[in-house]
Structure 1
Amino acid sequence: MNIAERYIRLAHGIDAHVPHFIDGYSGPQEWADKTPRSPAELLKEAQAFLQAVEDVPDAGRREWLGTQGRAMHTHARVVAGQQVPFAEEVRGLYDIDPLTAPLDELDSALKAFEEALPGTGSVTERLERLRDRVALKNDDVLRVANPILHELRRRTLDLYGLPEGEDFTIHLVTDKPWSGYNWPLGNLQSRIDINTDFPVPLPGLPNLLAHEGYPGHHTENAHKETELVRGRGWQEHQLQLLYSPQSVIAEGIATNALDMVMPEKEVQAWLTGELAQLSGLDPQDILAFQHAVKAREDIKHISGTAAVMLYQDAQSEDEVVNFLKHYNAVTEERARHSLSFIRHHRGYVYTYTVGHALVKKYVEQHGKAGFGELLKQPVTPSGLSRQ
């Protein structure tokens, strides 16, 4: 049994115990074996896999498989009933440290954000009113998304190339804990879902579509399928594992995606010009919303801090909701929606913030060509942090 097959069989064994661990798989179906294995058997299998990885000759492939293998070993420990402290869990699953924010820094950042919001009333009321003024009707989301995707694809093709035959479909969904999702389907195809539980604000739509599509998740998956699976025969890349270091790099790529194809000032001009006209929204409201979003960037690590409150400090859900309401300046409904994501995904919340910082730093050092490398080459969070 080759190393890719061992990797894929172990992942499917864990997925039988950890729902949604496998985000996408397009390899041989005979390897997708979810025959029930006991926790003890899984733990033994994970340990044996880590030993087998040491014999992989290619250093980059060996490091990537080893890091992914340690995540699966951590899952196996949890499944086996071992008590793994939350910080150790995050390090084991994602190859990163959990980051939190001191309350005095959050208070200062929240005050600056409040001063940037127009109007009167509480910060939450002002933000909700402004968000309502720039929200798209559900019937308009896909219509407005079409020209955005066309332009993002054109720029991605010019800067980073795209494999021939890549494509995705896009759908509106409800009752989800996330705002958007890319489902990798294999054969260079994806499905992108946009959640309409809350109205979709126009100023966030280019970033959402870049994140999930061009040059984000869909682009990375298509390039790695082409370069690694078809080009090198590394079949482990036919598998996307959600709760693993792979996601730190994926979310780091996706959260930086829009900046890699369009400067901030150009995004602003696009939104207040062509896209405002297309959607029938007031350009001044769009500018005010963008200004508020920019001011909000210093309110960092809210979800990560909330996760520590919940899983490490054993605070109640109501305490966490109040924290999210206050520092995100959102309604109770939105705060509970955020809590449901944290409940559902635990330490995954760190993939966005830590992944973003790692990829941004790498691009600052290596330019957009470095971003193109990350789209095509297997890297680990700790490996990226060393560069």
Structure 2
Amino acid sequence: MDIAERYIRLAHAIDAHAPGFIDGYGGPEAWADRTVRDPQTLRAEAQDLRARVQGVPEAERRQWLEVQTRAMHTMTRLLSGEKMPYSDEVRGLYDIEPRRADLQALEANLRTLEAVLPGQGTLTARKAALRDRVTVRPEDLLRVAEPILAELRARTHDRFGLPQGEGFRIGLVSGQPWGGYNWPLGNLQSRIDINTDLPVTLTALPDLMAHEGYPGHHTEHSTKEAELVRVRGWHEHHLQLLNAPECVVSEGVAVNALDAVMTRDEVREWLTGDLATVAGLNPEDVAAAIRVNVATSTMKGVSGAAAMLLHEDGAPEAEVLDFLQRYNVVDETHARKNLEFITQPHLRAYIFTYAVGSDLVRGFLAGGGQAAFGRLLREPLTPGQLASVQPAAGGSPATPQT
């Protein structure tokens, strides 16, 4: 049996015990075998697959499969009842180190926010009031997103190319722990869902569309399917796993996607100009929201720190909610949505893919720019490979997008 078929069959067997482990699949239906086997059997199969991967002749393919199958083995250990520290769970699934927040830096960010936020009252109230003034109504979201996607697609096509026949559909959902999601469907197609449970601001919409669509998740998945599956015959890339190192790279690509096609000044001009007009919002409010986004751009590790408090330290839920409210500067409703994410079985360790993946990709881009981003869209790179080429201390990774 081919290594890709073994990999895909084992993934589906794991998913039969842990639905959601597979994020997307577009390969042969016969390989999507969900015959239930006990976790100990799956654990032995995962160990055997790890050994077989060592015989893959192509180094690039082998290195990627090594970390992916290590994650599968970690999943089978968890399914078989093995107890492991939360940090080891993160390392085993994602090939990265979980991070704790720098509380002094977070407090400094709050002081910066105090100076930037307009209005009177608490930080949370002032931030919420500004957010409400730049929120796009759910009934307007798809209309406002349309010109954003058109511009992002054109720029992505010009800079990186797009596979012929790629595409996605977009819709609105509710009752989810995330803000947006890209579902790979195979055959170069995706479905993008936007969650309307919480407000979607105009200032967040270009980043969201870049993250999920162009040149983020959809672009990466369709490009790798076209080049790795259809050209090289590496059929394991028919499959996307949620709890595996590929997500660290994928989220790093998506978090940096808008930067890859637009400068900060271009985004600011776009938001306060044409997009504010399309959305029917006050450009001055939009400009103020952009300044707040800049002030909070370094607070991205709050949710991961909260996950460490909850799962590593055993802090009570009330303490974790207070932490999220204070450092994300949100009310209890928003904090509970954050908490919902980090308590989901498949997402509790996933939270670190955003901040760690973002930093790894920024470091990789610092030395290679546009060509390096193109490699990330086309090549099966691992978190460890990105970590090995980070800039030296004092280097200048790419600037966070607002």
TM-score scaled by length of structure 2: 0.95
Tell whether the 8 Å contact from 1:229 to 1:237 is kept in structure 2 after alignment.
Answer: yes
Tell me how far apart the structure 1 counterparts of residues 165 and 331 of structure 2 sit (CA, whole Å): 43
Shift of 1:93: 0.2
Q: Which amino acid aligns with 1:178?
A: W
Summarize the alignment of residues 15-94 of structure 1 with structure 2, pairs less than 5 Å apart. 15-94=15-94
Corresponding position of 1:234: 234
Summarize the alignment of residues 285-300 of structure 1 with structure 2, pairs less than 5 Å apart. 285-300=285-300
Tell me how far apart the structure 1 counterparts of residues 198 and 76 of structure 2 sit (CA, whole Å): 36
Tell whether the 8 Å contact from 1:110 to 1:299 is kept in structure 2 after alignment.
Answer: no
Corresponding position of 1:182: 182
Q: Which amino acid aligns with 2:374?
A: G
Tell me how far apart the structure 2 counterparts of residues 291 and 120 of structure 1 sit (CA, whole Å): 17
Tell me how far apart the structure 1 counterparts of residues 233 and 151 of structure 2 sit (CA, whole Å): 33
Higher helix share: 1
Tell me how far apart the structure 2 counterparts of residues 94 and 231 of structure 1 sit (CA, whole Å): 27
Tell me how far apart the structure 1 counterparts of residues 314 and 294 of structure 2 sit (CA, whole Å): 32
2:387 matched to 1:381?
A: no
Shift of 1:378: 0.2
Secondary structure, counterpart of 2:230 in structure 1: helix
5+ residue gaps, structure 1? none
Shift of 1:112: 1.2
Tell me how far apart the structure 1 counterparts of residues 75 and 294 of structure 2 sit (CA, whole Å): 37
Tell me how far apart the structure 2 counterparts of residues 299 and 201 of structure 1 sit (CA, whole Å): 18
Tell me how far apart the structure 1 counterparts of residues 204 and 299 of structure 2 sit (CA, whole Å): 17
2:365 matched to 1:363?
A: yes
Tell me how far apart the structure 2 counterparts of residues 185 and 301 of structure 1 sit (CA, whole Å): 30
Shift of 1:253: 0.4
2:12 matched to 1:12?
A: yes
Shift of 1:299: 2.2
2:268 matched to 1:258?
A: no
Tell me how far apart the structure 2 counterparts of residues 83 and 199 of structure 1 sit (CA, whole Å): 38
Q: Deviations over 1:105-129 (max 9, x none)?
A: 2111221122211110000000000
Tell me how far apart the structure 1 counterparts of residues 315 and 278 of structure 2 sit (CA, whole Å): 46
Tell me how far apart the structure 1 counterparts of residues 277 and 87 of structure 2 sit (CA, whole Å): 48
Tell me how far apart the structure 1 counterparts of residues 358 and 13 of structure 2 sit (CA, whole Å): 30
Tell me how far apart the structure 2 counterparts of residues 153 and 265 of structure 1 sit (CA, whole Å): 19
Tell whether the 8 Å contact from 1:172 to 1:193 is kept in structure 2 after alignment.
Answer: yes
Tell me how far apart the structure 1 counterparts of residues 280 and 131 of structure 2 sit (CA, whole Å): 15
Secondary structure, counterpart of 1:91 in structure 2: helix
The 10-residue stretch of structure 1 (144-153 or 13-22) with the greater mean CA deviation from structure 2? 13-22
The 10-residue stretch of structure 1 (97-106 or 204-213) with the greater mean CA deviation from structure 2? 97-106
Secondary structure, counterpart of 1:219 in structure 2: helix
Tell whether the 8 Å contact from 1:302 to 1:328 is kept in structure 2 after alignment.
Answer: yes
Corresponding position of 1:170: 170
Tell whether the 8 Å contact from 1:26 to 1:239 is kept in structure 2 after alignment.
Answer: yes
Secondary structure, counterpart of 2:348 in structure 1: helix
Shift of 1:30: 1.1
Q: Which amino acid aligns with 1:175?
A: G
Q: Percent identity?
A: 55
Q: Deviations over 1:327-364 (max 9, x none)?
A: 11101000000000111111100000000001111111
Q: Which amino acid aligns with 1:119?
A: G
Q: Which amino acid aligns with 2:375?
A: E
Tell me how far apart the structure 2 counterparts of residues 134 and 346 of structure 1 sit (CA, whole Å): 30
Corresponding position of 1:338: 338
Q: Deviations over 1:88-111 (max 9, x none)?
A: 111110000001112222111221
Tell me how far apart the structure 2 counterparts of residues 120 and 257 of structure 1 sit (CA, whole Å): 35
Shift of 1:13: 1.1
Secondary structure, counterpart of 1:360 in structure 2: helix
Tell whether the 8 Å contact from 1:106 to 1:300 is kept in structure 2 after alignment.
Answer: no
Corresponding position of 2:394: none
5+ residue gaps, structure 2? 390-402
After superposition, the Cα gap between the structure-2 partners of 1:300 and 1:171, relative to the gap in structure 1 and judged at 3 Å, is closer
Q: Deviations over 1:168-212 (max 9, x none)?
A: 001011111111000100001110000111221011100000000
Tell me how far apart the structure 2 counterparts of residues 300 and 268 of structure 1 sit (CA, whole Å): 20
Corresponding position of 1:348: 350
Tell me how far apart the structure 1 counterparts of residues 208 and 114 of structure 2 sit (CA, whole Å): 24
Summarize the alignment of residues 209-228 of structure 1 with structure 2, pairs less than 5 Å apart. 209-228=209-228
The 10-residue stretch of structure 1 (177-186 or 96-105) with the greater mean CA deviation from structure 2? 96-105
Corresponding position of 2:395: none
Q: Which amino acid aligns with 1:292?
A: V
Q: Which amino acid aligns with 1:370?
A: A
Q: Which amino acid aligns with 1:146?
A: E
Tell me how far apart the structure 2 counterparts of residues 235 and 114 of structure 1 sit (CA, whole Å): 52
Q: Deviations over 1:285-338 (max 9, x none)?
A: 000000001001222410111111111111111111111001111010000000
Q: Deviations over 1:237-257 (max 9, x none)?
A: 000000110100100000000
Corresponding position of 2:147: 147
Tell me how far apart the structure 1 counterparts of residues 146 and 352 of structure 2 sit (CA, whole Å): 31
Q: Which amino acid aligns with 1:331?
A: D
Q: Which amino acid aligns with 2:16?
A: A
Q: Which amino acid aligns with 1:130?
A: L
Q: Deviations over 1:134-154 (max 9, x none)?
A: 001111110011111000000
Tell whether the 8 Å contact from 1:42 to 1:76 is kept in structure 2 after alignment.
Answer: yes
Secondary structure, counterpart of 1:347 in structure 2: coil
Secondary structure, counterpart of 2:24 in structure 1: strand
Secondary structure, counterpart of 1:182 in structure 2: strand
Tell me how far apart the structure 2 counterparts of residues 182 and 156 of structure 1 sit (CA, whole Å): 17
After superposition, the Cα gap between the structure-2 partners of 1:32 and 1:213, relative to the gap in structure 1 and judged at 3 Å, is same
